[in-house]
Structure formats: C-alpha cells, structure tokens
Copies of this chain bind each other. A is one copy, B any other.
Amino acid sequence: MSNSFTKVVFSTKFSQNLRFMSSVFRGHQLVYSEFGEPARVVQKQECTTGAPGNNDVVIKMIAAPINPADINTIQGKYPVKPTFPAVAGNEGVGEIVSVGPDISDIKVGDRVITLKNGLGTWRTHLTINRDNVLKVPKKLGLVEAATLSVNPCTAFRMLKDFEKLKPGDTVIQNGANSACGQSIIQICRAWGLRTVNVVRNRDNLDELVAFLKGLGATHILTEDSLRTTKVFLNGDLSKPKLALNCVGGQSALEILRHLDNNGTMVTYGGMSREPVTVPTSALIFKDVKIRGFWLTRWSKENADSIDRYEMFEELISMMTNNELQGPAYQMVDFVNFKEALLNTMTIKGMAGKKYILNFEKA
C-alpha cells in the first residue's frame, strides 16, 4: 500500500464523546477546485475523515467507476454544479467502517453502494447520511456493485416507465455498446424483449458483435446497415415501440424512422453533440413521442419510493443470477487516476470499456 491510514475500531465500551473523537480515518481523495480538463484540474490529496454524525455512516470505498457524466461535471458542462473544493465521483461500492449512534439497520462490515449523485465517491473514506447508502449482498460482484446505481438503473427505468412492453416486443437502441446499452440488452433478454442494437462501424466489429450477442442482443447493426436492413420486413420482428438514444443527430433520426406508430424515443445521452431532429410528419401522423430521461432527477423525485427499492432488488437479483453482468471494464489503481481520466475521455473509453478506480492501492 503506497499510503497508510488508520482504522479505529468502534468499541461500545467508550463513551459516545470519546468514541467520536477517536474515530478518525486517514486516506486520500480526488479533489478539484475549478472546472476544466479532468487530468489537469483533479488532484489527489490526503484527507482525514472524522466520526459519523448520529445518522451517518463512514464507508471505506472499494471501487468507484469513472462515468462520462463525471467527466462532464468536472468540465463544468453538467447542469449540477458542485461547491469547490469538490470531491469527484458519483457512484461506487465500499464497506462500512463506522456508523452513527442512531443507526441500527447497518453495521460495520456491511457492503454498501452509494445512492445519490454528487457525494464524491473518489476517495478512500466517505461519510454520508444513512439514507444515501444501500446495503448489498457480498455475493454481488464488485464491478456489478460499483456500477449498479447509474447505468443499470437508467436502463431499467427507460424500459419500464415510457411504454408498456410485453415479452416479444422490440426495443431499438443506438450506442448499444455503451455501459448503459449493455445493461439494456441484458435486461431486455431477461424480460423476453427483443433488441435491435445499432453501433458505429469499426475495425473489430466482429468482436463487438460477438460480445453483444453474448449479452443477449437479438440483432446488431451498424449505422449504415440500419438504413437498408430487412430485419423488420420478414415478419419475425415487430416494429419497436421504444427507441433509446444516447447519440443524437443522424443516428437518432435513423432509429426514429423504425419506431412504430405511437412509440416513444427516449434520449439519455448525446455523444455526437448534435441535437435530436424529428420530422414533423412523424410527430403528427405517426404520433411518436420524444422524451428524455435523467436518472438524477428520477432518483430525487422517487428517493423513498417503493419503485426504487423494487428496482434495486430486481437488478441485484438479476446480477446474482448471472442474468446481468457489469460493463466491460478495466480496474485502475487509485494512484493511476490521471491515466483513467484521460482514457475515459477518448471515444474508446466513452463507448467501450469502463474504467473503475480500485482503492486497495490508494
């Protein structure tokens, strides 16, 4: 371990006051104090985590992914702006090392994930309110746990909340090899939905096709082949009731063209940086509905809802049953965070492998 920290084990013998004063965790965090290019503005610094408040827990972080939205937040391009200095990172998994005196349902040693945007998960120790963590089973894979709260939840909600889909129905998506796209394919497979998955053409296309087929993709098409595809013509595949768009521009228009009458296209990303263009006739005569989805808002509006906890339960169940695996990933030691930030910002990183910070080597 390149940096040491001290873990003071909670002892009920101590007085509450003494216990608070003595529960100090030393570690590191990734901080930025201005918006800009992540590899430049994000700095690693030492930090000390005090004892938790009455309803707080202290998490020793194990792993935290680098998501595109994290990069956008650091660049100042995200609508949620942090207060400086800010610790980066918005999801992750860890182990409880201390709990506040009012907490009875979570104990030291529990495995938990963070539930809220903006908590700053890129640090060795995180003190947060108990309401912002979810206890997860230890048999849940570390990568699945670390990446559960963003992409699988986004996929789940988009498949649930816009169209009433039934087994046999078709979903079309672009950016199908993104982390969220991979979740969409697998959840659709588990629910008996068929998927038409659009990806950009590339050198190693066969490899990508094999990977997505392995996840359960029904059809995989490049943006070019989508224009001339006959998959909807042989009567085997119904027209999609739902289109999921994380690209925008021409790619969004092409998947929209295949949408069934009265169907919905949900936009959750804009990797091409081009807006969504909708032909007037599709709106009027086909009655297509154009919507957007942002998990941060949904989670805020449904923080304590049954829907939210049922979603986590179902996703964790899928994951432990091997129906839903985490994204293609690469673990990166915490000390090498700059390399991971740079890689995430390349197209390869955004659309392919997910970089996950590993805090064991902090």
Q: Which residues of A contact B (CB under 8 A)?
A: 79, 248, 267-270, 275-294, 297
Contact = CB atoms under 8 A, between A and B. Distances in A.
Contacts of A285: 79, 292, 294, 297
Given A290-B291, A291-B290, A276 B270 contact: no
Contacts of A297: 285, 287
A248 B284 CA distance: 12
Contacts of A288: 292
A294 B290 contact: no
B284 A293 contact: yes
A290 to B, nearest CB: 4
Contacts of A294: 284-285, 287
Given A79-B281, A248-B280, 15 more contacts: A79-B285, A267-B284, A268-B284, A269-B280, A275-B277, A275-B278, A276-B277, A276-B283, A278-B290, A282-B292, A283-B290, A283-B291, A286-B292, A287-B297, A290-B290
Nearest to A274: B280
A72 to B, nearest CB: 11
Nearest to A79: B285
Contact of A291 (B270, B277, B279, B289): B289
28 contacts: A79-B281, A248-B280, A267-B280, A267-B284, A270-B284, A275-B277, A275-B279, A275-B280, A276-B279, A276-B280, A276-B283, A277-B278, A278-B278, A280-B292, A282-B292, A283-B290, A283-B292, A284-B292, A284-B293, A284-B294, A285-B292, A285-B294, A285-B297, A287-B292, A287-B297, A289-B290, A289-B291, A290-B290
A287 B268 CA distance: 10
A301 to B, nearest CB: 10
A291 B289 CA distance: 5
A311 B285 CA distance: 22
Contacts of A287: 291-292, 294, 297
A281 B77 CA distance: 10
A261 to B, nearest CB: 9
A243 to B, nearest CB: 13
A287 B282 CA distance: 20
Nearest to A292: B283
A280 B287 CA distance: 20
Contacts of A282: 292
Contacts of A268: 284
Contacts of A283: 267, 276, 290-292
Nearest to A290: B290
A90 to B, nearest CB: 15
Contacts of A269: 280, 284
Closest 10 CB pairs of A and B: A283-B292, A270-B280, A290-B290, A284-B292, A267-B283, A79-B285, A276-B278, A284-B294, A275-B279, A275-B277
